[in-house]
Chain A
Amino acid sequence: MAQATRAARPLVRGRAAIWVAGYAVLAVGTVLYLGPFIVQLANSVKTDADAAANPLALLPDPFSAHAWRRAFGLDTALDMPIGRWLGNSLFVTVSVTVGRLLVDSLIGYALARLRFAGRSAVNALVLAVLAVPGVVLLIPKFLVLKQLGIFDSYAGMILPLLCDAVGIMLLKTAFEQVPRELEEAARMDGAGVFTTYWRVVLPLVRPALITVAILSFQGSWNEFTHFLVATSDPAYETLNLGLARLAAGPLGGAQQFPLKLALATLSTIPVLIVYLLFQRHFIASQMNSGGKS
């Protein structure tokens, strides 16, 4: 008995300490991680002068929608090509997402299920892609796009983003978990490889397809460096690229922060919505990639 209480006492003390320290970290963390977004939102509805003078104030004084009006091109003084930016972002994002789903699932299925000569080499190549640091590819990508004649084109923006080793590996793993009997039954009935993949196996890996879709959406909506080197014509600017060029160029320094913050908010909202709806997928895929390597 005496022994048990001696063992229990530090335990209880440990629990209380964990509880206090835990909530302290959570409280400070929430301010640190959510604070910048709240400050961003608050300052996007301030006048330029108010945002400069009172950046910390969470309530605008006076409330001003002028930054948002300008962001949407309702202010003629500054012609913001917001429609084109949003259109380009949407078109490129949807194309990349659809393309990746198809391309990734085809090769993922082949790597998971077909015993073909050269499979291990293909697998090794895909894994090697994961290890290539992306920033090293800026100049190389520019070279190849110029050479292929697709610099400053939607093809040049979309096609290179179809290299997606993460998605391939994710789908490969999902295909490996489908019971083989289902495919065998389909094959017995005379279904070819492609029919089996399309009609039988693909519908069964729907959760993995959703994960790849939302990761592609988030990745290509936020994509910056590839579009920076793949285009120079403003007609191809996405919201993110247009905003980056604006902030690094004509609207550099401390100019018109409410406008820049409003545009940054606009580029964050779609990702926020997708994240809140599908956060399970984001978090699970991230934790898997961390757990395995």
Chain B
Amino acid sequence: MTETRTAPPAGGGAPSPRPARSGRLRPPRRRRPTGAEETRAGWLLSAPALLALLLFLVAPVLMALWVSFLDWNGQSNPFDGDQEFVGADNYRRLLAEDTLLHRDFMVSVRNTVYFVALNVPAVTALAFALALVVNQRILKGRGFFRTVFYFPSITSSVAVSIVFLFLFQGSGAVNGLLALAGVDGPNWFTDSRGVLHILMAALGLTEPGRTPEWAGGTLGGLPLWEWLSGPSVAMCAIIALTTWASSGTFMLFFLAGLQNIPASVYEAAMIDGASAWQRFRYVTLPLMRRSVTLVMTLALIASWQVFDQVYIMSQGSPAKTTLTPAYLSYARSFGDGQFGAGAAMAFVLFAIIVVLTVVQRWIGRERD
């Protein structure tokens, strides 16, 4: 930290007033720091943060990449060369061979696909609706409601998971409310039935508990009929929690977008006689395209990372219908000691997230 003082003073000049906070007087030195000096200072000030990033982000990723090519049980030192180097075996077993790991992974992908299909549109619509309302000047108490809607987003995921576990018990508050509406609520966290299966049976398209003939094949190691299950009843409770807990954050993103729309645009539309609906449809919506894309992308990424809720609420049960890739990767590594397989899964998950983000950004890009 002393390097700046070692530079020779570059000329005297009259003493000028020093900043009020500095008490001592030093001989005035009128100069600009040289390029080399700034470079040294720049790296020095950046050093602590860079060290943390290299040590706890870059290095871990490289180490995990190495481990994903090993058959390592998490006990010994994975870098002493004693572990068997299995090349791409972990990846092959995960993605191509018909192993338990592969089937579990495919189940977790199926679960996540349905998680995305419900959570992303729901949280986007909900957050947008909340933002529109909270942004209305004619409504009083908007600040209070904004505070209320955002609060779940900053509360501990552990705490809200426990609360939702309580709400969604078999004889819990949610079923109590459903009973008031005359609906006999399910036993949420023990119900592994897929919602689409239930729906198809209810519509008389299929017989309950039997695989229809047209869905007899398999895809990626999983029966076609399993792919068509929809989210399980248990997963629906976890989706409800996630949508509820993340909508406040996205509401603020939409609010930022709404406040960027100049009032003059609305005034012009009003002068042209546009109704409230027309203003929303032809002014707000097109101008919010960027915000919608951003929120959907972030919700998509978050949906592929679901972990905390599953750890606390279900541990993947019932019948693996709440298993997510992140939880499976954790359970394989820390539960079963298969760190090579777990690390490989983490990298595959990373790749999936990157690809989906790029695709969604491309779909939502500005078009003229």
Contacts and interface: CB of A to CB of B under 8 A. Distances in A.
Interface of A: 6-7, 10-11, 13-15, 17-19, 21-23, 25-26, 29-30, 32-34, 36-37, 39-40, 43, 51-53, 55-56, 102-104, 106-107, 109-111, 114-119, 122, 125-126, 129, 132-144, 147-148, 159-160, 162-163, 168, 182, 185-195, 197, 199-200, 203, 218, 221-222, 224-225, 228-229, 240-241, 243-244, 247-248, 254, 257, 260-261, 263-265, 267-268, 271-272, 275-276, 279, 282-283, 286-291, 293
B105 interface: no
Contacts of A144: 55-56, 59-60, 63
Dominant secondary structure at the A interface = helix
Contacts of B60: 137, 140-141, 143-144
A94 B178 CA distance: 44
A163 B53 contact: yes
Contacts of B311: 228, 244, 248
A287 B150 CA distance: 12
B35 A115 contact: yes
B228 interface: no
A261 B163 contact: yes
B294 A229 contact: no
A233 B4 CA distance: 46
Given A116-B39, A122-B46, A290-B252, 18 more contacts: A13-B275, A14-B275, A37-B163, A40-B163, A52-B169, A110-B46, A111-B46, A114-B45, A132-B61, A133-B305, A133-B349, A140-B61, A159-B55, A192-B4, A200-B19, A241-B158, A287-B255, A288-B256
Contacts of B225: none
A10 B276 CA distance: 8
Contacts of B162: 243, 247, 260-261, 263-264
Interface string B162-181: 11111101011100110000
B64 A139 contact: yes
Contacts, number: 355
Contact of A200 (B21, B28, B64, B347): B21
Nearest to A242: B158
A188 B16 contact: yes
B301 A29 contact: no
Interface string B222-261: 0000000000000000000000100011001111110110
A33 B46 contact: no
| 7 nearest CB pairs, A to B | A116-B42, A192-B4, A290-B253, A140-B60, A14-B276, A140-B64, A190-B29
Nearest to A197: B45
Contacts of B73: none
B273 A10 contact: yes
Contacts of A248: 311-312, 315
Contacts of B4: 192-195
Given A135-B349, A136-B346, A225-B307, A293 B39 contact: no
A139 B156 contact: no
A290 B48 contact: no
B347 A221 contact: no
Most A C-beta atoms less than 10 A away, residue of B9, B29, B57, B253: B57
